[in-house]
A and B are shown apart, each in its own frame.
Chain A
């Protein structure tokens, strides 16, 4: 099993450019989420989804869009990148069944916006 796969691992953008961070999981998990990690801030939830066609905002959703057309994929879109979006982004998933609450994380995507 590949688990949670994130691409790209590294990306450099210029202010105003757009891009999509890809996240795919092969565990048939209903729940998927995106976090950003900044020094001294821990992980902050950007968006999450409890199934195909359903998305919701987390703590810091501004500047990001998501969609969930399949169970496997949950891409994160930056429409117009800003330096404040320089961060490490983590995708995580879990099944939505009782007593299986642990999140499975990808290895992260490190984004620099110049």
Chain B
């Protein structure tokens, strides 16, 4: 079964609002990564958080990691219509030789 489970599956917000997506996983990890996918395109890496980190920022993105709960969240602040995409978490499990296991993704729609 997949390592990551994401919540919600779909999210629709107005431009300017914040969007929060959650990811839960099952086993111990080296790091957790978030990716973005525009419709019909490949995935693009957004941000990585290591198992010894609790929070990380990159521009309008903020990622948190709670290893005790095996969960992570991605916050996009002041969303824009261009943020409309699917967002995936991926985990690099300990001892897994670098392979990433992806969650099912959250589809975000930002209405102008």
Q: Which residues of A contact B (CB under 8 A)?
A: 4, 31, 33, 35, 40-45, 48, 50, 56, 58-59, 90, 92, 94, 96, 101-108
Contacts and interface: CB of A to CB of B under 8 A. Distances in A.
Q: Kindly state the interface size class of chain B when it binds its partner.
A: 20 to 34
Nearest to A110: B40
Contacts of B97: 50, 56
Given A43-B43, A50-B97, 20 more contacts: A33-B99, A33-B100, A41-B104, A42-B2, A43-B90, A43-B102, A50-B98, A59-B2, A101-B48, A101-B98, A102-B33, A102-B45, A102-B48, A103-B33, A103-B45, A103-B90, A104-B45, A105-B44, A107-B42, A108-B40
Contacts, number: 62
Nearest to A108: B42
B88 interface: yes
22 contacts: A4-B42, A40-B104, A42-B6, A42-B102, A42-B104, A43-B90, A45-B100, A45-B101, A45-B102, A50-B97, A58-B99, A59-B101, A90-B42, A90-B43, A94-B98, A96-B98, A102-B33, A102-B48, A103-B33, A105-B42, A105-B43, A107-B42
B88 A42 contact: yes
Interface string B9-44: 000000000000000000000110101000011111
Nearest to B6: A42
Nearest to B31: A101
Nearest to A6: B42
Nearest to B42: A105
Which one of A35, A42, A59 has the greatest number of beta carbons of chain B within 10 Å? A42
Contacts of A50: 97-98
A102 B49 CA distance: 11
A70 B11 CA distance: 42
